[in-house]
Chains A and B, each alone.
Chain A
Amino acid sequence: MLTSRGYWFLLIVSLVVILGVVAVPTWSVAPAVMGLALLAWFAYEWVRFRWRLTSAIARLRVERVLVQGDRIVPMVWAGIPFRVRVTIQYPSGSSVPYAFVEDRIPLGVEILQGTGDRHSALRPGQPLEVEYELRVAMLGMLRFEGLRVRVVDLQGFFFHHAFLREGVEYLVLPPLTDDEGRQRADKRFNMLPPPGIHRFRRPGTGSELLDLRDYRPGDPPKMIAWKASARRDRLIIKEYESDVPVRCVLFLDASQSAVIGPPGETATVRLATLASGVAQAAAANRDLVGLTVFDENDSRTLAPARTRTHLITMMQRLAETAARLPDVRHVHPEELSRRATYLARSVYPELMTRGNNAVPFGRHWIPLLDARWGWLAVAAIAATPFLVIQKEWLRATAGIAWATRLEATSGIVRFLSFLGAWACIAFSPALVALGFWFLYSFRGWFNPRWGALNRRKRLASLLCLRDGTGVAGIERLIHDDQAFAEAVAKFLTEHRLRCPFPLHDEDGRYLFRGEAKVEILANSLLQAVSRARDNELYVVLADLVELGPNLARFLKAARVARSKHHQVLVIVPWPADLEEPAPKPEKPERSPKGVTIREGKLKAARRGSQQSERERLETFQPALRAAFRQQFEAAYQQLRRELARAGVTAIRLNPADSVQVVLDRLDRLRGLRTRR
C-alpha cells in the first residue's frame, strides 16, 4: 500500500512531529506546527486515496473487441493485422485522478501499433479505451487474461494494483487462400467451379470419351456417333467419363510428440497449416474434405463436406489443435509451482495476498504423533504418574531433592526449593519427553523449504478455489506431489503458459514417443474406409518417424485402404530445430591441406581433452547435430520404405516448405487434373 517514498516521508514527518510536540516546543513551535500540518496532509491524502480506491476498483468492468477488416470478429485470421479495443467501464463512484492501465498481451504476437497501456484518470461515466494493433503469424489461440490497473496518488505515497480478469480466448484461423479470403466485404462472390473435376472412369457427363456402345431406346440423339454408326451400319452411342469430386480425409496428429517444440513452430502447428492449405485447395476444386484429429487417447472426426460453413468449422478445429500445449505433468512440482505462482500473482493478485491467503506459523510445526515412534513420547508422559506413586521412586527422588535443596533461612523458601527439585526429578521422564517433543516439532520453523511450502499452500488454495474442490483439497495438494502437478498443469494449460519440460524420465526413456497414437490412427483410418465411397484420398499428417517397429497396425490399415483402391499419403514433419536435409549426399569437402572437413572435426574433437568446457561444447555440438540429423534421415528413409511396401507414399515436410510446394507434390502424386 505505502510506497518507499511514502514510508520515508511518514518516517521523517513522524520524527519531526514527535520532536516538535514533545521535546522542543519551548524553544520553537515551528517544527510542531509544520510537522502536524504535514502529518495532517499525509492523513488527508491517505483517506482520499483509500476512499476512492474502495469505491472504484470493484466497479470497473472490461469490454474487449477484436476488429479485423473494419469488422468486429469472434476469431482472427493468421497473418492479417487486427486491432484490439479494450474499454473499461466505470459507471459510478468517485473519480480516481491517476491510474495506469496495462493490457496483458499474449505471447507470440507482433505488436504493430500502440503499446496496450494508458495513463489516465478514472471518472465515472467516462469509459477508458485502450487500443493497439497486433498480428499473429501462426494459427492457434490467443488468450487475453485481462488488464492490470495500477492506482497511485499524485504524490506517489500510496499504491494499489488490481487485475481486471477477463480470460477470453480467440482462435487464430489459418488464412484463407482463395479470392474470397482476400475480399473483406459482405457481398459473396460467385466463384463456384463446376461440380467435380476429377476424371472417373464411369459413364457420365464429362468431356473425355470413355467408350462406344450400341444405341438403346431413350438415348439422346446428340450422343450418337454418326461416323461409327455409318461404318457399322447400326446406331452407336458415345459414352463420356464422369467428372466427379474426390473425397479427401485429413488425419492430423495432435499427440504429445507433435505438440512439443518451439512456440509457433511445433509439428502440430506446421501440419495444421499444411492441412488448412490442402483443405482449401480441395475445397477450391469442389472436393469434399474431412478432418480427423487424433492423439494418444482418442480421435475426433469431421465428416467430409464441401460447404463454406464446413470449411470454417474445419479451420476452427485446426486452430484448436494447433493451440494444444504439451503436457507438463512430468515437470518437477517445485518448478511448476514457481511458474504458476508468478502467473497467479499477476492474474489473481487479490487472492494471493497475505491477508486473504495466509500460512500461519503453526502450519510449520511438525506433529510428533504423525510418526509411529512418536507415541513413545506419549507413553513416557503417560507412564510418569504411575512411576511417581511407586514408593521406591518416591523415596529415591525425595532423597536427591533433599540433598540438593537451597540452604536458605526462610523455611518456606527451603520447602519450595525442595518441592521444585523433587518435581523436576520425579517427573523427569515426562519432562524429557516433552522437551524432545518440542525440539522435534520446533525444527519445522527452520525448515529450508519454508518458502516453498508457503508458495505451495497459497497456490493450492487458489487452485482449490477455482476448481471448487474446497478446503479439504488444499492439504491434499500440499502432500500429494502428483495431484499438485496435475492441478498446476491444468492451471498453466488453461492460462496458456508454457513451461520447460523434461524429454526423458529418470531412466533415460523418451517420454513423448506416443506409440498409443498408432492404434488410434489405424482405427480412424479403418473407420474412414468403412464409410468411404469411390475415389477417396487419405492424407495422414503425422509424426511417425521414430515409431518404426510400432507401425504394423497402421500399415495393415493402409493396406486395407489400398485394397479398396483409395490413395493414402503420409506427410511427416521434419523437426523445426534441425537443419534441413541436404538434397544430395554430401561430398566430403577438401580443405587446402587435403584434409576433409570431417577429419578436421574429428581431429579437433580429439584435442577436446585440452580444451575448455565451452570450446568442447562448440566443437561437439555440430557433430552431435549432424549425427542426430543423420539418424533422423535414416529413420525417415526406413519409414518411407515400409510405407512403400504397403502402397503408401510418404512426403517429408521441411520447415522451409510452403503449402504451395507440398500441394504441387500432392498433385503430382495424385496424377489428377486440377484447376490450379
Chain B
Amino acid sequence: MSDPNSANDAQESAKPLADPTVGELLRHPEVRNYQVAALAALVVLFGMLMGRGIMLGGALTAIIGVAGIFLRWIAAPVFVIILTTYFALFPSGVPEFGYSDPFMMSRQHFRLEDMILTAAVLVYVASQYRLFGVLTQSVPSEDRRSNLKRAAIRRPPSAIPAREIAPMFLAIGMVVVVGQAAWWCLSTVRIVAGDGFSLVIPNVFAYRQSPQAGRFSPAGSRFVLLAGMVFFPAVLAMVVFAYRRYRALPPLEAKQILQDTQWRENYREFSRIETWRTWAQRRQNRRK
C-alpha cells in the first residue's frame, strides 16, 4: 500500500488548474518570494539608473517590469534587458554617442555599481520567468502544427518546494562574478596574429597604435576572443554530454541508431533490389 499522504498530494497536484489571479498567487509563500524578489530587483534597477541620472530609462524599465509581474506580459524581461542596454548607452534617451573613452575598459573591472546593476537585471529576469511558469505556461506545447488548442500547462504553486529561491540567488551571484571575469579577460587580453597566434596583455596605450597589417584591431580581437570563449566550452560541454548520453543509451535507441546508420550506407542497393522486386511482382500479378 502506498503512503496515504503521497496519494493526497498526488490528488491535490492533479487537480485541474483554474486561471489563477494575482491575489490568489500571493497567498502562496513560494510564489510571493519570486514576486517580491522581482519587485525588489526592479526597485534596485530603478535606483541604479536614477543614480546615473537616467530618469526616463529607470521609469520605463520599472513600468514594464511591473507590467510583466502583474499583467503577465511575457515580453517584459526581454524589454527590460533591451531598455537597460539602451539607456546605459544613451542616458538621455536620444540615440547619440557622447565622448569615447578608450581608458574606460581598463578602469572598469569588478565595479560594484556594474555588479549590482547586473545582479538586479538577472534577479528580475530569473524571477519573472519562474513566475511565468506559474502564471502562464511552464511546459511548451509540443505539437505546434496541431489544430487542437490545448490548455496551457502551468506549474501549480503547490509543486514549488520551499527555499527554491535560495539557489537562484547563489547562482546569480556566481554568474555576475563570472561575467565580470569574462569582461576582464576580453578587455585585457589581446590576440596577436603576427608570426604566430598568441594572447598577450598589451600596454594600455596600445590603442593609439594603428593596427598593423595582418593584426587584429582591438574590437576584432575582442570578437575573436569572445567567439573562442563561447565556442570551445560549448564544444567541450557537447562532447561530455554526448558521452554521457551514449553511456546511458537505452538498448532500443542504440539499435535504432545502428540500424539507421546501416540503412544510410546501404539504402541505394536495397532500394534498387526492391524496385526490381516490385516490378517482378507487378508483372506476375498482370500475368495472373
Contacts and interface: CB of A to CB of B under 8 A. Distances in A.
A19 B223 CA distance: 10
A360 B85 CA distance: 43
Contact of B84 (A34, A50, A97, A480): A34
Contact of A37 (B78, B98, B175, B233): B175
Interface stretch (A38-46, A325-333, A581-589): A38-46
The 5 closest A-B pairs by CB, nearest first: A37-B179, A475-B270, A155-B129, A30-B88, A58-B248
B77 to A, nearest CB: 8
A93 to B, nearest CB: 9
A483 B244 CA distance: 38
* Interface range on chain A (Cβ under 8 Å from partner): 35 or more
A27 B245 CA distance: 45
A27 B100 contact: yes
Contacts, number: 271
Contact of B89 (A28, A54, A131, A159): A28
A471 B122 contact: no
B253 A350 contact: yes
A119 B244 contact: no
Interface string B238-280: 0001001100111011011101101110111011111101100
Interface stretch (B19-27, B36-44, B113-121, B198-206): B113-121
A463 B101 CA distance: 66
B226 A38 contact: no
Given A27-B98, A31-B89, A119 B264 contact: no
B124 to A, nearest CB: 11
Interface of B: 2, 6-7, 10-11, 13-16, 74, 77-78, 81-82, 84-85, 88-89, 97-98, 100-102, 104-105, 108, 114-115, 117-118, 121-122, 125-126, 129-130, 132-133, 137-140, 142, 153, 155-156, 159, 161, 164, 168, 171-172, 174-176, 178-180, 182-183, 186-187, 219, 222-223, 226, 230, 233-234, 237, 241, 244-245, 248-250, 252-253, 255-257, 259-260, 262-264, 266-268, 270-275, 277-278, 281
A28 to B, nearest CB: 5
Nearest to A159: B140
Nearest to B77: A9
Contact of A130 (B10, B78, B100, B161): B10
A35 B179 CA distance: 8
Given A119-B155, A156-B129, A461-B256, 18 more contacts: A16-B82, A23-B219, A27-B101, A31-B85, A33-B114, A33-B179, A33-B183, A34-B114, A47-B237, A54-B245, A55-B244, A131-B2, A154-B164, A154-B168, A356-B253, A465-B256, A471-B270, A476-B270
Contacts of A46: 237
A573 interface: no
Q: Tell me the dominant secondary structure on chain B's binding face.
A: helix
A129 B2 CA distance: 9
A474 interface: yes
Interface in A139-187: 150, 152, 154-157, 159, 161
Contacts of A137: none
A462 B273 CA distance: 21
A36 B164 contact: no
A470 interface: yes
Contacts of B10: 114, 118, 129-131
Contacts of A30: 84-85, 88, 114, 117
Contact of A54 (B2, B126, B178, B248): B248
A357 B260 contact: yes
A351 B117 contact: no
A21 B223 contact: yes
Quick one: which of A8, A357, A471 has the most chain B CB within 10 A? A471
Interface string A95-115: 001101000000000000111
Contact of B241 (A12, A23, A50, A363): A50
A19 B97 CA distance: 14
A465 B260 CA distance: 10
Nearest to B144: A4
Contact of B122 (A38, A114, A462): A38
A135 interface: no
Contacts of B241: 50-51, 54
A389 interface: no
19 contacts: A16-B85, A24-B89, A27-B101, A30-B88, A31-B85, A33-B180, A36-B183, A41-B175, A47-B237, A114-B14, A118-B10, A119-B156, A120-B13, A150-B153, A156-B140, A351-B252, A358-B264, A461-B256, A465-B252
A22 B224 CA distance: 10
Contacts of A55: 244, 248
B272 A367 contact: yes
B104 A465 contact: no
Given A29-B104, A119-B13, A461 B263 contact: yes
Contacts of A380: none
Nearest to B257: A356
Contacts of B97: 24, 27
B101 A26 contact: yes
Contacts of B139: 100, 150, 152, 159
Given A12-B81, A100-B138, A474 B263 contact: yes
A38 B81 contact: yes
Contact of A475 (B81, B182, B273): B273
Nearest to B273: A475
Interface string A36-80: 111111011011001100110011000000000000000000000
A422 to B, nearest CB: 36
A583 to B, nearest CB: 44
A5 interface: yes
A34 B121 contact: yes
B244 to A, nearest CB: 4
A129 B6 contact: yes
Contacts of B138: 98, 100, 119, 152, 156
| Chain A CB within 10 Å, residue with most, of B101, B102, B266, B270 | B270
A474 B156 CA distance: 45
Which of B13, B132, B168 is the most central at the interface, judged by chain A CB atoms within 10 Å of its CB? B13
A130 B6 CA distance: 9
B126 A32 contact: no
Given A25-B187, A156-B140, A114 B11 contact: yes
A219 interface: no
Q: Which among A29, A55, A350 has the greatest number of chain B C-beta atoms within 10 A?
A: A29
A117 interface: yes
A529 interface: no
Interface string A345-364: 00000110000111010110
Contacts of B171: 41, 44
Contacts of B270: 471-472, 474-476
A514 interface: no
